[in-house]
Amino acid sequence: MESWIVETKNLKKYYRLGTHTVKALDDVNFAVREQEFVAIIGKSGSGKSTLLHMIGGLDTPTSGEVYVGDKALGKLSKEQLAIFRRRKVGFVFQSYNLVPDLNVYENVVLPIELDGKHIDREFVDEILELLQLNEKREALPNTLSGGQQQRVAIARAIASKPSIILADEPTGNLDTATSHDVMGLLKMVARQFKQTVILITHDQDIAQMADRIVRIEDGHVVKAGELDD
Residues at the site binding ligand ATP, with contacts judged by CB under 6 A: 15, 17, 22, 24, 42, 44-50
Burial class (CB in 10 A: 0-12, 13-18, 19+), 164: buried
Give me the least distance between CB of 16 and ligand ATP, in Å please: 8
Q: Residue 125 is inside which H or E element, if any?
A: helix 121-130
Of 136 and 215, CB closest to ligand ATP: 215
- CB nearer to ligand ATP: pick between 46 and 163: 46
Q: Does residue 202 come out as left (phi exceeding 0), alpha (psi in the -120 to 50 range) or beta? A: alpha
How near is the Cβ of 218 to ligand ATP at its closest, in Å? 9
The least CB distance from residue 168 to ligand ATP, in Å, is 8
The C-alpha atoms of residue 5 and residue 72 are separated, in whole angstroms, by: 11
* CB-nearer residue toward ligand ATP: 44 or 142: 44
- The DSSP symbol for 117 reads P
Nearer to ligand ATP, 7 or 26 (CB): 26
User: Taking the complex as a whole, how short is the minimal distance between the CB of residue 42 and ligand ATP, in angstroms?
Assistant: 5
CB atoms within 10 A of CB 127: 23
